[in-house]
Amino acid sequence: MKLTPKTATLLVLAALVAITPFFFPSGYYYRVGALIFVNGLAVTGIVILTGYAGQVSLGHAGFAGIGGYACALAPVHLGLHPALAVVLGAVMSAALAWLVGRPILRLKGYYLGVASLGMGILISMVLNNERWLTRGPDGIDVPDLGLRGVLKDWGLNLSNGEFWYFFSGIVMILGAWAALNLHQSPTGRALRALHGSEIAARTVGVDVSRLKLQAFVISAVYASVSGSLLALQNKFITPDVAGFMHSIEMVTMAVLGGAGSVLGAIFGAGILTLLPQVLTVFAEYEQMVLGLVMMLVMIFLREGLLPSILRKLRGTGE
Amino acid sequence: MSLLDIKGLGITFGGLRAVNEVSFSVNPGEIVSVIGPNGAGKTTLFNMISGVYLPGAGQVVLNGEDVTGMRPDLLARRGMSRTFQNLQIFQSMTVLENAISGYHLQERGPVLADLLGLPSSRRRSKAAEEGARALLARVGLERAAEREAGNLSYGALKRLEIARALALNPKVLLLDEPAAGCNAVETEEIDHLIAEVAKSGVAILLVEHDMKMVMRISSHIVVLDHGEKIAEGDPATVSRDPAVIAAYLGTEAENADG
Amino acid sequence: MSELLQFLFSGVTVGAVYALVALGFTIIYNASDVVNFAQGEFVMLGGMATVFAHAAGLPLPLAALVAIVGTAAVGVALNRLAIEPARGAPVVSLIIITIGASIFIRGAAQLVFDKQIHTFPAFSGDDPIRILGATILPQSLWVIAGAVLVFVALWLFFTRTLLGRAVLATSNNRLAAQLVGINTNFVMTLSFALSAGIGALAGVLVTPITLTSYDVGLTLALKGFAAAMLGGMGNPKGALAGGLLLGLLEAMTAGYLSSQYKDAAAFVVILAVLFLMPQGLFGRKSTDRV
C-alpha cells in the first residue's frame, strides 16, 4: 500500500503519543508531554495561517487567552459545562478573528504583524486589567473538565497526568488530521496559491481576502482550543497565556520546526517545550540559549528543523 | 458589440502618461496582438484590462458589462484569464497542483467540508485533478506532474502558466509574452497551442516580441508607442505602415535585447 | 489648562524616546528591509552600561560615551552575525531572528549586569522647572533636546553628505548602488552602528527619569515599532511624528481616561490608522509590478 504524507504524519503522531509513555521515568513526564501536545495544537493552526497562507500573526496568543478564560469564566458565570465553555471560547475567538481579520488582512508583511500584535496586546491588557471579571495578573481557578471521572465510572482509571497526556494527544491528532485534510483540499490549494503569488491566485479566481480570513479564523480556533486545554489541565490560568511572548512562542515553534508541514511544526513545539525543561539545570543561561537557538536555526536551516533533517537523511541535495 | 471592448483606456504614473486613449476590440476566435517597442505600455495596458491597475480613464467592457477596474478574481468568474510576463507560478507547489489551482472556481466549496475531508470535498478535488492532467498533457507537461514547479525550466513554466490559464475555460485569454525565453521548438509548440485555443472560440489578446510569431498567428494587430496607439490593422497592413516602421527603427537598439 | 500642559510635557518626553527608538527602526529598515525587534535592547544596553561604567568609577559623560560606543559595536555584531547571513529570508524568519537576538541580549545582560533596577543622577539636577503652573524635569529637556539634535544631525547627514546619500541610494536599490561603486556592506555596518548608537543615547537620556533594568527593552521595542509604523515604516519624519504622537496619546489617555489602558490607546489608534491608511501616516503606496 502506498503511504500518503497525510497517513504517514498521522501514524507517526499516533505512535509517538502511544509509545513514548513506556519510556517515562516518572509521572512528571506526562505533564510535559501534555504541554507539548497543547502547544502542538496551537502550532498546527499557525501552519494553516503562516505555512499554507503565508500570513504572519504576532497576536495569536490573544485567542489562546480567550479560550482559556472562557473555561474559567463561563462555568461560573453562565453555568456552562466546561466542555461547552471550550466551544464557547472557540466561537468567540472565531467571531473576533472574523471581525478583526477583515480589515487587518488587507495589510502585508510587517504591517499585518503590527496590527495582529496590537490585537493580541489589547486582549491581554483586558485580561490583566478587568479584575472584577478575571481577577487580574494573579490568575484565576478553572473548574475540572469532569471527563476523567466519567472514564473512571466506565472502568478506565487514569491518573490526572495520564488523562491529560492522552486527551491532549488525541485532540492534537484530530487537529493535525483536519489541517492535513485542508492541505490537499481546494481551500488548502487556494491558500498555498495565494502564498506563492497573490496576483496569480487572483487571476485564477481566488477571492484572496476571503481565503486569508478563513485561514485566520481557523487558526484562531486552534489557538483558542489550545488555550482552553491548557487552562483545564492546569485548573488555573493567568493572563500570560495571552501575552506577546506566547504569541512569539507559537510562531517560533512553527517556523523553527518547519511551518510548511504539520509534523515539522509539532516537532518545533516539542523542541521548544522541552528546551526550558532541559535548561533548568543552567537556569541562568536559559534565555541566551533560547535566543541563540532561534537565530541559528533561522539562519542555517531556513526551512526549519524537520525538513532540513529529513533532507539530510535522504541525502538528496535538491 | 465585441466580446472585449477597450474604450479610451489611459493611466498616468507620477505625472507620466504611461498609456493614453487606447481603444480596440477583440472578438471570439480572434487573436489580437499588441506590439510596440519596449516601454510602449503593453504590459501596463494588460494590467489595466485584467484589473491589476485601476485605469485613470476609459472603459473595459466584457461581454457588454462594464468591468473597468474590477478585481481580477471577479474578472476570472466572468471568463477572463491571463498569463504574466515575469512568471507568476506557485513555486513550492507541484506542477499538477499549479494546474489544478486553475480550476479553483469549479473546485471550491465549503471550507468545513475541506477541513473534515468529506467525500464532497474529495470529489471536487478529483474532478479538478482529472481536468488538470488532461491540460498538462496538452501542453506536454504530463510527465513533470509530480515535480515541484520551482524546479522546471523557463520554457516549461511558460507552458504551465498557459495551462493554468486555460483551466479556467476562459472566454478571453490575455497572454503576456508567452514565447519569451523559449527556444524555436518551444515557440512553435506555443504558437500551435494558441492557434488551437483561438479556433475553439476563445478571444485571445497577445503581447509578444517575436515578430515572426505575431505576423504568423495574429488576425489583428494593435501598435503602441509611448503609450499611444499609432496603428491598427491586419498583419500585412501594419507591417507596411510608415509610423510603425519609424517607431521600430527609432528604437531598434533597445528592442534588440527585448 | 495647567493639567493639559502637564500631560503635554510628559507626553513629549516619552514621545521623544519613542521617536528615537522609531528612528533606529527606520535606519535599519531602510538599509536592509529588516524590522529589528532587538532595537529596544539597544536602549537597555545604553542605560545599563552607563550605570555600570559610572559605578566602576568613570565620570558620567565618559561612562555614557563608553555605553554608546559599546552598544554601537553590539549593533554591528548583530548585523554581521545574524542579519547578513540571513539575507533574503522571508519576513517571518527575520522577525524570529531579531526577536531571538533580543532574547539573547536580554539573557546576556542579566548575566553581565544584574537583575536589579538602576539609575544614575540626572544631568542638571532634579529640581522641576515651573511653566504656566505645570512642571517639567530638567532631564526631560535633555531628552527632548537629544531627540531634536539627533533628528537634525541625521537630516543633515542624509541630505548634505556623500556618505548619507550613499546610504539612501542603497536603501532605494541595493544592486544599483553596488554598480555605481557604493560599498553596501559598509553602508549596512554604518546603519546598524548608527541605529544602535541612537538607541543607546535614548537609554542614557531617559534612565534618570524612568530607571532601567535588563528587561526594559521589549516594551520599548514594541512601542518604537508601533511609532515607526504609525508614521509609515522607512520614513524618518514619520518616525519622529509617530513617536511624538504615540507619546502624547499615551499621556492624554493616562491623564484623562485610564492609566491602566494607556498602552491600549496607542494600539487602538495604530489599528485605526492602519485600517484607514494601510501605509501609515507618511508611507508611500507601493504597487506590485507584474
What are the residue boundaries of the structural domains of chain B, listed by start?
A: 1-79+170-258, 94-167
Q: Is the pLDDT of residue B235 over 80?
A: yes
Average pLDDT over residues A202-206: 96
Query: Pseudo-torsion of CA B118, B122, B125, B126, nearest 10°?
Result: -160
pLDDT at C232: 81
Residue A216, pLDDT score: 96
**Where in the sequence is the domain holding C94, given as residue range(s)?**
2-276
Q: Which residues contact C209 (CB under 8 A, 6 or more apart)?
A: C13, C122, C137, C139, C140, C143
* pLDDT score for A317: 45
The verdict on B164 touching A (C-beta cutoff 8 Å) is yes
Burial of A20 (0-12, 13-18, 19+ CB in 10 A): middle
Ranking B165-169, B216-220, C31-35, C244-248 by mean pLDDT, the lowest is C31-35
Interchain CB distance below 8 Å, B82 and A203: yes
Q: State yes or no: pLDDT of A220 exceeds 80.
A: yes
Distance CA A216, CA B182 (A): 40
For every residue of chain A, DSSP letters joined together read: -PPPHHHHHHHHHHHHHHHGGGG-SSTHHHHHHHHHHHHHHHHHHHIIIIIIT----S-THHHHHHHHHHHHHHHHHT---HHHHHHHHHHHHHHHHHHHHHHHTTS-HHHHHHHHHHHHHHHHHHHHH-HHHH-GGG-EE-----HHHHHHHTT----HHHHHHHHHHHHHHHHHHHHHHHHTSHHHHHHHHHHH-HHHHHHTT--HHHHHHHHHHHHHHHHHHHHHHHHHHHTEE-GGGGSHHHHHHHHHHHHHH-TTSHHHHHHHHHHHHHHHHHHGGGGGGHHHHHHHHHHHHHHH-TT-HHHHHHHHHHT---
Question: What is the pLDDT averaged over residues A147-175?
Answer: 92
CB contacts of C290 in chain B (<8 Å) are 43, 47, 52, 84-86, 88
The reply to whether CATH 3.30.300.90 applies to domain B1-79+170-258 is: no
pLDDT surpassing 90 at residue A303:
no
Does residue C191 form part of some domain? yes
At B231, phi and psi to the nearest 5? -165, 165
Hey, of A204, A208, A222, which one would you mutate to test binding to chain B, going by the most B CBs within 10 A of its CB?
Answer: A204
Residues A116-125, mean pLDDT to the nearest whole number:
92
Residue C69 lies in a domain: yes
- Averaged pLDDT, A259-281: 89
Q: What is the pLDDT of residues C35-80, one digit of tens each?
A: 999 999 999 999 999 999 999 999 999 999 999 999 999 999 999 9
| C 230-289 near A (Cβ less than 8 A) | 233, 260-261, 263-264, 267-268, 270-271, 274-275, 278-280, 288
Q: Is the pLDDT of residue C30 over 60?
A: yes
> Are B176 and B82 contacting, i.e. CB atoms less than 8 angstroms apart?
yes
H/E stretch holding B9: strand B4-13
Q: Convert the pLDDT of each residue in A79-113 to its tens digit.
A: 999 999 999 999 999 999 999 998 888 887 788 88
pLDDT at position B13 over 50: yes
What is the rounded average pLDDT for all residues in chain A? 92
Asked if the model's pLDDT at residue B155 lies above 70, the reply is: yes
- Nearest by CB to C233, which of A110, A117, A199? A110
- Asked if the structure places residue A288 within a domain, the reply is no
pLDDT at C287 over 50: no
* Chain A nearest CA to C177, separation (Å): 25
N-term to C-term CA, chain A: 26
Q: Which of A4, A174, A185, A311 to mutate to probe the B interface, most B CBs <10 Å? A: A185
Q: Compute the average pLDDT of residues C163-180.
A: 84
B39-53, B146-160, B241-255: the lowest-pLDDT one? B241-255
**Average confidence (pLDDT) over B98-125:** 95
Please state, in angstroms and rounded to a whole number, the distance separating the CA atoms of residues A309 and A301.
Answer: 9
Contact B88 C287 (CB under 8 A): no
Q: Answer yes or no: do C229 and A122 touch at CB < 8 A.
A: no
The pLDDT, as a whole number, for residue C179 is 83
Residue in C194, C179, C242, C234 with CA at minimum distance from that of residue C14: C242
Q: In this structure, what C-alpha cell is assigned to residue C100?
A: 531571538
Does C196 score more than 90 pLDDT? yes
pLDDT of the residue at C173: 81
Amino acid B254: pLDDT: 47
Is the pLDDT at B252 greater than 80? The verdict is no
Integer Cα distance of B200 and B171 in angstroms? 10
Q: How far is CA B21 from the centre of its chain?
A: 21
Res A286: pLDDT: 83
* Mean per-residue pLDDT, A163-191: 97
Band the pLDDT of C284: cuts 50, 70, 90.
low
Interface test with A, best of C83, C103, C111 (most A CBs within 10 A): C103
Chain B residues with CB-CB distance to A200 below 8 A? 84, 88-90, 164
C279 pLDDT higher than 80: no
Q: How many angstroms separate the CA atoms of A166 and C1, rounded?
A: 63
- Measured between CB atoms, which of C100, C106, C280 is closest to A295? C100
Number of domains, chain A? 1
pLDDT confidence bin for C208, thresholds 50/70/90: very high
Residue A253 confidence (pLDDT) above 90: yes
Is residue A251 a part of any domain in this protein? no
Residues B151-158 have a mean pLDDT of 89
Asked whether residue A318 carries a pLDDT value surpassing 50, the answer given is no
State how far the Cα of B13 lies from the Cα of B28, in Å rounded to an integer: 32
pLDDT tens for C37-48 read 999 999 999 999
Which residue among C92, C103, C225 sits closest to A251, beta carbon to beta carbon? C92
- pLDDT at position C290 is 53
Distance, in angstroms, between C179 CA and closest chain B CA?
20
Q: What is the pLDDT of residue B243?
A: 87
Residues of C in contact with B53 (CB under 8 A): 287
Q: In terms of C-beta density within 10 A (0-12 exposed, 13-18 middle, 19 or more buried), how is residue B26 classed? A: buried
C-alpha cell at A54: 503565508
Looking only at the bridges linking them, the beta strands covering B4-13 and C129-131 are unpaired
Grid cell locating C156: 543633515
Residue B8's H or E segment, with its range, is strand B4-13
Is B258 a residue whose pLDDT tops 60? Answer: no
Q: Binning pLDDT at 50, 70 and 90, where does residue A312 land?
A: confident
Percentage of residues in chain A having pLDDT higher than 70: 98
Q: Which domain holds residue A190?
A: 5-244
Cβ contact, residue pair A129, C111, below 8 Å: no
Nearest residue of A to residue B108 by CA position? A186
C290–B84: do the CB atoms touch at under 8 Å?
A: yes
Categorize the per-residue pLDDT at B255 as very low, low, confident or very high, splitting at 50, 70 and 90: very low
Q: How far is B126 from chain C (nearest CA, A)?
A: 31
Q: Quick: pLDDT tens for B198-224.
A: 999 999 999 988 888 899 999 999 999
Backbone angles phi, psi at A213, to 5 degrees: -65, -40
Quick check: B104 and A181 CB within 8 A?
Answer: no
Average pLDDT over residues C78-83: 94
CB contact under 8 A, B125 and A186: yes
pLDDT of residue C233: 79
CATH of the domain at C23: 1.10.3470
pLDDT at B251: 54
Residue A238 covered by a domain: yes
Torsion of CA C188, C189, C193, C194, to 10 degrees: -40
pLDDT at C278: 67
Q: Contact C247/C224 with Cβ under 8 angstroms? A: no
- Give the closest-approach CA distance of B178 to chain C in angstroms: 14
> For residue A61, what are the CA distances in angstroms to A58, A99, B13?
8, 17, 42
Mean pLDDT of B230-255: 79
Q: Least CA distance to A102: which residue of chain C? A: C275
Q: Which residues of chain C lie closer than 8 angstroms to A119, CB-CB?
A: 267, 271
Q: Is residue C172 part of a domain?
A: yes
The pLDDT assigned to A201 comes to: 96
Record: contact A244-C111, CB cut-off 8 A: no
Instruction: Search chain C and give the residue with CA nearest A112.
Output: C274
Is C290 in contact with A199 (CB distance < 8 Å)? yes
Residue B107: list chain A partners with CB under 8 A: 186, 189
The grid coordinates listed for A313 are: 537523511
pLDDT of res. A103: 85
Average pLDDT over residues C224-252: 89
Q: Is residue A239 part of a domain?
A: yes
**Domain assignment of residue A267, yes or no:** no
Residue C148 belongs to some domain of the structure: yes
pLDDT of residue B180: 83
pLDDT of residue B253: 42
Confirm or reject contact between A3 and chain C (CB < 8 A). Answer: no
What 3-state DSSP class applies to B80? strand
Asked whether residue C234 carries a pLDDT value surpassing 90, the answer given is no
Tell me whether residue C281 is in a domain: no
Give the residue from B46, B48, B52 with the most C CB atoms within 10 Å of its CB, the best one to mutate: B52
Which one has a higher pLDDT value, C31 or A41? A41
Q: Which amino acid appears at position A113 of this protein?
A: G
Tell me the average pLDDT across B99-119. 95
Residue B7's φ and ψ, nearest 5 degrees, are -120, 105
Q: What's the confidence (pLDDT) of residue C283?
A: 64
pLDDT tier, C269 (very low <50, low <70, confident <90, very high otherwise): confident
Instruction: Say yes or no for a CB contact (<8 Å) between C290 and B88.
Output: yes
Instruction: Tell whether A318 is covered by a domain.
Output: no
| Chain A 200-229, residues with CB within 8 Å of chain C CB atoms | none
d(C-alpha C201, C-alpha C151), whole Å: 13
Q: Are A56 and C92 in contact (CB under 8 A)?
A: yes
How close C290 gets to chain B, by Cα (Å)?
Answer: 6
Phi, psi (rounded to 5 degrees) for C53:
-65, -40
Neighbours of chain B (3+ CB pairs under 8 A): A, C
Contacts of B84 in chain C (CB under 8 A): 290
Mean pLDDT of B89-114: 95
If you average pLDDT over residues A180-195, what whole number do you get? 96
Please report the residues numbered 90 through 119 in chain B whose beta carbons come closer than 8 angstroms to any beta carbon of chain A: 90-93, 97, 100-102, 104-105, 107-109, 111, 113-117
Q: What is the DSSP letter of B54?
A: -
Kindly identify which residue of chain A lies nearest to residue C269, measuring between CA atoms: A118
C-beta atoms of B53 and C290 within 8 A: no
CA distance A39 to A230: 9
Q: State the pLDDT confidence band at C170, using cuts at 50, 70 and 90.
A: confident
